[in-house]
């Protein structure tokens, strides 16, 4: 994660909770839990967790009423879909 991305996240937190933004000065990264519907090519965000540089949880949010969304071509969601749902084809062996 770049310093610019970190700064943007801290500014986002400041907008809705100035007190919480103080602990975000050590913000390091986030982890997002996605649910992927391979059959219908849809994605659903279930939870995200923000961590500080020591691995301590700064904030956690679980989506209870998140809705399925179609996976957008050439997006991060499509890369997740390809990794989770598409079986790589093995090269066929040549006969001697």
State the chain's maximal CA–CA distance in angstroms. 71
Residue in 87, 5, 20, 90 with CA at minimum distance from that of residue 59: 20
What's the rounded Cα separation, in Å, for the pair 27 and 92?
47
Confidence of residue 94 (pLDDT cuts 50, 70, 90): low
Per-residue pLDDT of 40-89, as tens digits, reads 999 999 999 999 999 999 999 999 888 999 999 999 999 999 999 987 77
């Amino acid at each position: 994660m770049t310093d610019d991305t970190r700064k943007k996240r801290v500014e986002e937190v400041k907008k809705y909770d100035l007190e919480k933004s103080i602990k975000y000065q050590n913000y390091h990264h986030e982890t997002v839990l996605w649910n992927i519907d391979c059959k219908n090519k849809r994605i659903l965000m279930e939870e995200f967790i923000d961590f500080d540089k020591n691995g301590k949880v700064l904030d956690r949010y679980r989506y209870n009423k998140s809705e399925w969304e179609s996976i957008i071509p050439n997006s991060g969601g499509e890369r997740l879909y390809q990794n989770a749902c598409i079986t790589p084809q093995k090269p066929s062996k040549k006969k001697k």
